[in-house]
Amino acid sequence: MSENRKPLLGIVSKLPNGTALGNSGKTHCPLCLGLFKAPRLLPCLHTVCTTCLEQLEPFSVVDIRGGDSDTSSEGSIFQELKPRSLQSQIGILCPVCDAQVDLPMGGVKALTIDHLAVNDVMLESLRGEGQGLVCDLCNDREVEKRCQTCKANLCHFCCQAHRRQKKTTYHTMVDLKDLKGYSRIGKPILCPVHPAEELRLFCEFCDRPVCRDCVVGEHREHPCDFTSNVIHKHGDSVRELLKGTQPHVEALEEALAQINIMNSALQKRVEAVAADVQTFSEGYIKAIEEHRDKLLKQLEDIRIQKENSLQLQKAQLEQLLADMRTGVEFTEHLLTSGSDLEILITKGVVVERLRKLNKVQYSARPGVNDKIRFCPREKAGQCHGYEIYGTINTKEVDPAKCAFPIDIEKAKQTASFTLLCKDAAGEIMGRGGDNIQVAVLPKDKKDSPVRPMVQDNKDGTYYISYTPKEPGVYTVWVCVKEQHVQGSPFTVTVRRKHRPHPGVFHCCTFCSSGGQKTARCACGGTMPGGYLGCGHGHKGHPGRPHWSCCGKFNEKSECTWTGGQSASRSLLRTVAL
C-alpha cells in the first residue's frame, strides 16, 4: 500500500506553494489546477479530472464484498450482481483525502461523471467571454450560440446548419453573452448504453436513471417513472440523511474550534512555563557562578594561609639550621684545632650555646598538609533563594582525637556507642565518609568474633552497635584510617541479662501477705504462733525493707534467687497487697 502512494505524493509535491488539495473551487481540478475536463466523482465525493485519475498508479486489494461494491458509476449500472467471494480488486487513492477508491470493471472512465462540475465549468467559461468552450458538434470552433432546446453549444457554422435542418429549424438560439446570469446551462445527460437517448426515467428496482430504450429493453418489467415524478421521494430521503449529517458538521466544527482554542492556550502556557524555566535557570546559573567564585576565593585563601604557614616554618627551620651549623662547626673546630687551654677558656660559652640549641623544640614534619577536598554533594546553604551544593573541606580526621564512651554491657542485648571523629585541632569533622573499622572479640574465644554494625550519621559521628552472645570480657577495636582511636583497644565486661524479682519488696511477710501463717520470706525470720514468715521486731527480721524472694535490701537490684530445692515453694506465694 505504501509503495502505491509514492506516485500520489509525487504529484502533490508538484503543486504550487500555498495550494491545498480540494480547495481549488468547484471548477478546478485539485491535481492539475485547471478547469475540469471530464470530471469524475469519487465515492468520497471529491471530483478529479479523468486524465489526472488515470495518471495515478493503481494497486491491488482483496475485495470480499462481491457485487455489493459502493463504487458508483454509470458504466456499471447494468452489470449483474456477482456472488459474494474473494476476488482481486484494483483501486487508487483519492488525491484529496487519501481514501481508497475501488475502481469498477471499466476503470477510471467507468466512474460517475460529476455533471454539477461540468455545469460550473461551463458557467465559469461563459464569465470569461466563452474562452475555452468549443462547439459540441464539430469540436473545433469556438462557441457563439447555444440551442436552448437541444442544450448544445454551437459555433457560427454549426448554428446555421442547425437552423437549416427541418427538425431543428424552430429551436431557440441564444447568444452566450445572454446566458451569463443563468445558474444552470448544462448539457442533457445521455444514456451510457444508448448515447442517442437522454436519461429521463428512473428505475425503482435498479435504483438508477434510465432512458426510453432501456425501459423497453432490459428494464421492461421494472417499475419505472419520469425523474420529475420520483425526485420528491428520493430527494426527501437524501434531505433526511443530510439532516442527520449536518449536526455532525456543526459538532466537528465546534470540536475543531475547541481544539484551536486549546492549542492557543497550550502555546501560551508553554511560553509562560518556558519563561519560568528560563528565569529559574538564569537565576540558578547566576547563583552557581557566584558560589563557584566564592569557592575559588576560599580555595585561594586556604592556599595563601597554608603557604604562609609553610614559609614561616621554613624560615624558622632555616634559621635554626644555621644556628645549629654554626654551633657544630665552631665546636668541631675548637675540639680539633684548639689547645687545651683554649678549649677550657671557651668551654663555658660553647656548652651554654649547645645546651640552648639542644633545648629548642621544633617539628621535623610540615606544619600543614595538602588535605584539601571538594565535596560536591554536601549542602552549602542557599544563594539568592536557591539551594546549592559543594563545599571545600580541609579537615582531616585524627584518630588520637576521636572519642567514645565505655560501659558494661549485658549478654544477648544490643550494645551501642557513638564514635565522635575530630580533626587535629580537636574540632568535630562535621561530615561522614571516613573509613571506620570495628572488631569485637571475646577474650577467651578470639576465633568467634561478634559482628558489629557501623552507621554513618554524615555529621562526623558514627553509631556502632553489636550484640554479645555470652557473658564475659570482650576486646573492642575501633580504628580510623587503620589507626586506633583514643582508648582503643578497650575491654568491655558483659554480664548476664538482668533477672527481675519474682517476689515483693516489703517491710515484713505478715504485712505483705495479709497475716497468712504459711507465707515465707527469704530473710529467714519467723513469728510466734506458727507464722513461717518474718514480722517486725521478731526473730530473724533484718530491721528494714527487703525482697521476699532473695532478701536483698536494694529495691532496684538484680534477683539472686536460683529457685533451687533449698527455697521453699510457699515463698512464691508472698504477694503485695
Assign residue 427 the CATH number of its domain: 2.60.40.10
Q: Specify the amino acid at residue 539.
A: K
The reply to whether 287 and 323 lie within a common domain is yes
Residue 319 scores a pLDDT above 90:
yes
The reply to whether 483 and 529 lie within a common domain is no
Residue identified by cell 533484718 is 542
Angle among Cα 376, 377, 383 to the nearest 5 degrees reads: 80
Using an 8 Å Cβ cutoff, are 480 and 460 in contact?
Answer: no
The reply to whether 486 and 506 lie within a common domain is no
The reply to whether 522 and 452 lie within a common domain is no
C-alpha cell at 509: 511477710
Domain count for the chain? 3
Q: Does residue 171 belong to any structural domain of this protein?
A: no
The reply to whether 333 and 286 lie within a common domain is yes
Q: Kindly report, residue by residue over 26-71, the tens digit of the pLDDT.
A: 788 888 888 888 888 888 889 898 888 888 888 886 655 444 444 4
C-alpha cell at 497: 541479662
For residues 293 and 144, which has the higher predicted lDDT (pLDDT)? Answer: 293
Residue 8 has, within 13 A of its CA and on its CB side, a CA count of 21
SS (H, E, C) 17-57: CCCCCCCCCCCECCCCCCECCCEEECCCCCEEEHHHHHHCC
What integer pLDDT is reported at residue 324 of this predicted model? Answer: 92
The reply to whether 462 and 479 lie within a common domain is yes
Average pLDDT, integer, range 249-267? 92
Q: Does residue 550 belong to any structural domain of this protein?
A: yes
Q: Does residue 324 belong to any structural domain of this protein?
A: yes
The reply to whether 307 and 341 lie within a common domain is yes
C-alpha cell at 453: 554494625
Q: Kindly report, residue by residue over 188-224, the tens digit of the pLDDT.
A: 778 888 888 888 899 989 888 999 889 888 888 889 9
Whole-Å CA distances, 412 to 415, 417, 493, 498 = 9, 16, 13, 11
SS (H, E, C) 426-494: CCECCCCCCCEEEEEEECCCCCCCECCEEEECCCCEEEEEECCCCCEEEEEEEEECCEECCCCCEEEEE
Strand partners of residue 210: 201
The reply to whether 345 and 234 lie within a common domain is yes
Using an 8 Å Cβ cutoff, are 467 and 407 in contact?
Answer: no
pLDDT band at residue 300 using 50, 70 and 90 as cut-offs: very high
Angle among Cα 433, 435, 438 to the nearest 5 degrees reads: 125
pLDDT band at residue 364 using 50, 70 and 90 as cut-offs: confident
Task: Give the separation between CA 107 and CA 54, rounded to whole angstroms.
Answer: 9
Residue 444 scores a pLDDT above 50:
yes
pLDDT band at residue 18 using 50, 70 and 90 as cut-offs: very low
Q: Kindly report, residue by residue over 226-256, the tens digit of the pLDDT.
A: 888 888 888 888 888 888 888 888 889 999 9
Average pLDDT, integer, range 165-178? 77
Average pLDDT, integer, range 158-173? 82
Alpha carbon dihedral 216, 222, 228, 233, in 10-degree steps, equals: -170
The reply to whether 238 and 319 lie within a common domain is yes
Q: Kindly report, residue by residue over 475-486, the tens digit of the pLDDT.
A: 888 888 888 888
Residues 6+ apart with CB under 8 A from 208: 77, 202
Phi and psi for 345 in degrees, rounded to 5?
-70, -45
Residue 417, domain extent:
395-494
What integer pLDDT is reported at residue 20 of this predicted model? Answer: 40
DSSP 115-164: HHHHHHHHHHHHHTTTTT-B-TTTSSSBP-EEETTTTEEE-HHHHHHHHH
Q: Which of 495, 559, 497 is nearest to 522 (CA)?
A: 559
Q: Which range among 68-77, 248-257, 273-282, 553-562 shows the weakest confidence by mean pLDDT?
A: 68-77
Whole-Å CA distances, 433 to 389, 396, 440, 457, 479 = 17, 11, 22, 9, 14
The reply to whether 453 and 332 lie within a common domain is no
Q: Does residue 298 belong to any structural domain of this protein?
A: yes
What integer pLDDT is reported at residue 406 of this predicted model? Answer: 53
Using an 8 Å Cβ cutoff, are 518 and 570 in contact?
Answer: yes
What integer pLDDT is reported at residue 487 of this predicted model? Answer: 80
Other beta carbons within 10 Å of 122: 25
The reply to whether 339 and 428 lie within a common domain is no
63: enclosing H helix or E strand: strand 59-63
DSSP 373-422: EEEEEEEEEEETTEEEEEEEE---B-GGG-B-----EETTS-EEEEEE-B
239: enclosing H helix or E strand: helix 227-337
Task: Give the separation between CA 295 and CA 542, rounded to whole angstroms.
Answer: 75
Q: Does residue 174 belong to any structural domain of this protein?
A: no
Q: Which range among 71-75, 369-373, 456-460 shows the weakest confidence by mean pLDDT?
A: 71-75
pLDDT band at residue 258 using 50, 70 and 90 as cut-offs: very high
506: enclosing H helix or E strand: strand 505-506
The reply to whether 234 and 326 lie within a common domain is yes
Residues 6+ apart with CB under 8 A from 518: 532, 570, 573
Residue 505 scores a pLDDT above 50:
yes
Answer with the one of 462, 477, 494 that is the final residue of a domain. 494
Q: Does residue 445 belong to any structural domain of this protein?
A: yes
pLDDT band at residue 559 using 50, 70 and 90 as cut-offs: confident
Classified as helix, coil or strand, 527 is strand
Q: Specify the amino acid at residue 380.
A: A
Q: Does residue 136 belong to any structural domain of this protein?
A: no
Phi and psi for 259 in degrees, rounded to 5?
-65, -40
Using an 8 Å Cβ cutoff, are 89 and 106 in contact?
Answer: no
Residue 392 scores a pLDDT above 50:
yes
The pTM score is 0.45
Alpha carbon dihedral 210, 212, 216, 222, in 10-degree steps, equals: 40
Other beta carbons within 10 Å of 306: 18
- First vs last C-alpha separation in the chain: 99
Q: Across 138-235, where does the E strand assignment appear? A: 145-147, 152-154, 173-175, 201-203, 208-210, 224-226
Q: Does residue 31 belong to any structural domain of this protein?
A: no
* Mean pLDDT of the residues in the chain: 79
Residue 541 DSSP class: -
